[in-house]
Amino acid sequence: MHIGCEIRCEKTLEKLFEGAVVGSKVARMISGRWTDFGATVADNQTALDFYLDRATRARLLLDGRRMQDVRMRSYRAAPVMVATATGDLAAVAMLLRYGPDERSVRGAIQYLRRRSADRDRGPSFPDRDHSCLELLLRAVACEHGSVDGFGSFDESGYAVDESGGNEDESGGNKDESGCGVNVVPALLHLARCAVRKALHENFSLPHGIPQLPVPRSLVSYLDLEC
């Protein structure tokens, strides 16, 4: 495995992510590469978790981005977006534990919302997509990106212009169903997001959660397990 060469020459960590996010067979079809950490998705996810943990503890950055935010070039998206698109709940959960860029998380949420809207006119929305959406919503303070100024995001997790009549009579943004987006989240949820943000800024997410002076019942909540 030539990870050092890949980082220096390709400016990507894609080879580390592929097996864990899309699986060995899909990775071979899309990028033409075999994965390095075994034939199963579970083996690759164990390896990726190891590297994410070490990169976080060492405060490593690649072109100013943390490991979980390095764009997967063959897939033209951030890892959390790719994992969401494949419906792999385990991969999404692992990436969220380390705190990917919030713009990518919001992009993944909007991607699933669009899929849900399309499913309303066709086949039912898969349970795995419901589970992914529920998990992603735990990682953001507000349900819609426009609430705190982020706006909408494309399927790569990057901002797009949302102008063009998508406002209600009071000037507030609407979602695709026409409902207002100013949903007030629970205080406990806002507190979780604030704590996770502070830990993330200090490169202490998720391994710093068990060290917090909080009841053990809150540890799993802060780690997005419930």
Q: What is the pLDDT of residues 107-153, one digit of tens each?
A: 999 999 888 877 666 566 678 888 999 999 999 987 654 333 333 44
Q: Give the ranges where the chain is alpha helix by DSSP (H).
A: 3-10, 14-21, 24-31, 41-57, 79-86, 89-97, 102-119, 127-137, 187-201, 216-222
What is the rounded CA–CA span in Å between residue 203 and residue 55? Answer: 9
Q: What is the pLDDT of residues 65-99, one digit of tens each?
A: 999 998 888 778 899 998 998 888 998 999 999 99
The reported pLDDT for the residue numbered 18 is: 72
Q: What is the pLDDT of residues 29-52, one digit of tens each?
A: 555 555 556 667 788 788 889 989
Report residue 104's pLDDT band, with 50, 70 and 90 as the boundaries: very high
Question: What's the pTM value of the predicted model, to 2 decimals?
Answer: 0.73
Bridge partners of 160, per DSSP, are 152
Of 45 and 20, the one with more pLDDT: 45
Residue pair 192/141 in contact (Cβ under 8 Å)? The answer is: no
